[in-house]
Amino acid sequence: MSCHIHELKERAGLIWNLYDVRSLLGWDQQTKMPRNGAAGRSQQLASVEQVAHEMLTAPSFVELLRRAEEASAPLGKDDEDRAYVRQVRRRYDLAARVPAPLVAEFSRATSSAVEVWVEARKNNDYKSFAPHLRKVFGLCKQIADHRGYQEHPYDALMDEYEPGISTAEVGAVFAELRPFLSDLLERVGEPSPSSNLLRQPYPEAAQREFSHFLLQQIGFDFEGGRLDDSAHPFCSSSSHGDVRLTDHFQENFLSPGIFGALHEGGHGLYEQNSPARFDGGPLRGGCSLGVHESQSRLWENFVGRSLPFWKFHYPILQGHFPRQLSGYCVEDFYRSINQVGRSFIRIEADEVTYNLHIILRFEIEKDLLTGALDPDDLPEAWNARMREYLGVAPPNDSEGCLQDIHWAFGLVGYFPTYTLGNLVAAQLWRKIRRDIADVDQHLLSGNCRPVLSWLKKNVHDLASCYLPSEVVVRSTDGPIGTAAFMDYVNEKFGALYGVGTR
């Protein structure tokens, strides 16, 4: 390792350790912090952020970075070193290109927007939120301009969450996906009314215990992780040996708790299997939100909503809830957890409709950013697209364009990563089924290890050394596309709903 790269790593290590500390502070804030700690915590978070930012943008650090770039440029140099330097540069550019006053204004604007959004959603009062939305998107546009982009300002925003992907690429993929999904939904028709299998009293303690067991089953290591309660499930990590999942159990609804555990567990496995040598630096952990989501969705849906998986685990679930489940067989359960429905709400959506919710948001936020859509016209545009894509419109804005917190938070360009994750998961799953011919047999016997080993070798081991698109090519033999996902939903829901493949 060159001396310049060594010097960069010494300094960058301090900064990335501060980022890891920030993760832990955030976890604690959502899980353990006493109520009166809020004011102090927000100061501590802001201070860690400011100190890390100062260190990252200090002229002496930029000079270290420049010298390390020169030293790592020649071909034949260590690939990981090159990746390290590239990731530092990426973070530097994100931090340095946007002027500090704009960052501060954005932070103030999104704070207010979140506050107003909470009330607006509660009172179905979109009008009060519209000016805040206008402000946030205006600032997002300025941020995009400062960051720079080749074709579309949305490129610059999406790049923060999914490095290297373009609006045009995403648009092309979504354009294929949308009519296919609308058509499949049409064929599924009006689903028969759901059994109330999942909606019975399920004591939280037993749900937690079963979720803990499921996480062990899929290979989550509790020597290097935890499971706690929080208002919304999330995964947070500060090293490969300290990965923390949270879940939220609903007393009268079984799915959110156990599928939340599998979802966050999928994120957690990606972080736990990041090679130890990357700890405390920019190469640790998942390479993008989309690839991260491919891991959570793979375990939640492709494994976790499959019949072989539940043929093994359902009897154990019944053991936890004999009174609630003794009257239902595993096929009843399988149908219940895979019910397709035309919901207004994204987070309640199934595997077929979920991506339609995302495509709608992608199209709308792109237009809000360029000004093609005026914030005053958002509800109308939202409802029109809902009717077109899902065949239903929400009865009010609270269940429509006010349902997500993302835009109030300033998270623009984030939504597409959910669908990219689903598509990548499908490609990985297809590859896994080819590479491990007897994967169903393994799942039928409760053995998830072959799947995890495959992911570890083909995805987790790469950590953040490559762009997401490179990871997908390396692990699935091809670029991100729609074919694997279409085949998967066609086959699965075709069988479930007795509708033929077109």
Active site amino acids:
264
Of residues 61 and 485, the one with the C-beta less far from a copy of itself: 61
CA 486 vs. chain centroid, Å, equals 20
> Whole-number minimum distance, CB 239 to a copy of itself, in Å?
3
DSSP string, 386-407: HHHHHS---SSGGGTTTS-SHH
241 lies in the binding site for a copy of itself (CB under 8 A): yes
> Whole-number minimum distance, CB 347 to a copy of itself, in Å?
28
Rounded to whole angstroms, the Cα distance separating 69 from 475 reads: 28
Which residues, at least 6 apart from 216, have a Cβ–Cβ distance to it below 8 Å?
Answer: 222
239 lies in the binding site for a copy of itself (CB under 8 A): yes
- 41 burial level (CB within 10 Å; 0-12, 13-18, 19+): middle
13 lies in the binding site for a copy of itself (CB under 8 A): yes
95 lies in the binding site for a copy of itself (CB under 8 A): no
240 lies in the binding site for a copy of itself (CB under 8 A): yes
> Whole-number minimum distance, CB 294 to a copy of itself, in Å?
25
Site for a copy of itself in 249-278 (CB under 8 A): 276
Rounded to whole angstroms, the Cα distance separating 46 from 83 reads: 29
Nearest Cα residue to 20 out of 410, 282, 396: 282
Among positions 3, 14, 104, 172, the unique one binding a copy of itself when judged by CB under 8 A: 14
Nearest Cα residue to 417 out of 165, 180, 114, 184: 165
Angstrom distances, CA of residue 411 to CA of 247, 407, 416: 22, 5, 11
**Bridge partners, residue 244, by sequence:** 226, 236
> Whole-number minimum distance, CB 62 to a copy of itself, in Å?
17
26 lies in the binding site for a copy of itself (CB under 8 A): no
Stretch that binds a copy of itself, among 88-96, 209-217, 235-243, 311-319 (CB under 8 A): 235-243
499 lies in the binding site for a copy of itself (CB under 8 A): no
Q: State both tokens at 212.
A: 């803990």
Angstrom distances, CA of residue 345 to CA of 91, 364, 472: 34, 16, 29
Which residues, at least 6 apart from 308, have a Cβ–Cβ distance to it below 8 Å?
Answer: 440, 441, 443, 444
What proportions of the chain, in percent to the nearest 5, are helix, strand and coil? 70, 5, 25
**CA torsion sign, 184 to 189 to 195 to 200?**
positive
Stretch that binds a copy of itself, among 141-149, 221-229, 364-372, 396-404 (CB under 8 A): 221-229
**Coil, strand, or helix at residue 227?**
strand
Rounded to whole angstroms, the Cα distance separating 481 from 427 reads: 8
> Whole-number minimum distance, CB 462 to a copy of itself, in Å?
20
Stretch that binds a copy of itself, among 28-36, 315-323, 384-392, 429-437 (CB under 8 A): 28-36
247 lies in the binding site for a copy of itself (CB under 8 A): no
Q: State both tokens at 305.
A: 């909503």
Among positions 17, 142, 255, 453, the unique one binding a copy of itself when judged by CB under 8 A: 17
Nearest Cα residue to 82 out of 467, 476, 495, 454: 467
242 lies in the binding site for a copy of itself (CB under 8 A): yes
Among positions 3, 47, 201, 479, the unique one binding a copy of itself when judged by CB under 8 A: 47
- How many angstroms separate the first and last alpha carbons of the chain? 56
Stretch that binds a copy of itself, among 222-230, 256-264, 366-374, 405-413 (CB under 8 A): 222-230
Stretch that binds a copy of itself, among 62-70, 158-166, 239-247, 333-341 (CB under 8 A): 239-247
> Whole-number minimum distance, CB 71 to a copy of itself, in Å?
24
38 lies in the binding site for a copy of itself (CB under 8 A): yes
Nearest Cα residue to 433 out of 451, 445, 419: 451
70 lies in the binding site for a copy of itself (CB under 8 A): no
From residue 297 to residue 316, what is the string marking binding to a copy of itself with x (rule CB under 8 A)?
--------------------
Side-chain half-sphere CA neighbours of 170 within 13 A? 29
Among positions 6, 40, 189, 216, the unique one binding a copy of itself when judged by CB under 8 A: 40
> Whole-number minimum distance, CB 34 to a copy of itself, in Å?
5
Among positions 3, 43, 371, 487, the unique one binding a copy of itself when judged by CB under 8 A: 43
Of residues 53 and 152, the one with the C-beta less far from a copy of itself: 53
413 lies in the binding site for a copy of itself (CB under 8 A): no
CB 236, CB 27: distance < 8 Å: yes
Of residues 64 and 113, the one with the C-beta less far from a copy of itself: 64
Of residues 22 and 406, the one with the C-beta less far from a copy of itself: 22
Site for a copy of itself in 49-68 (CB under 8 A): 50-51, 55
Of residues 259 and 278, the one with the C-beta less far from a copy of itself: 278
Residues that bind a copy of itself (CB under 8 A): 13-14, 17-18, 20-21, 24-25, 28, 32-41, 43-44, 46-48, 50-51, 55, 221-226, 238-243, 276, 279-280
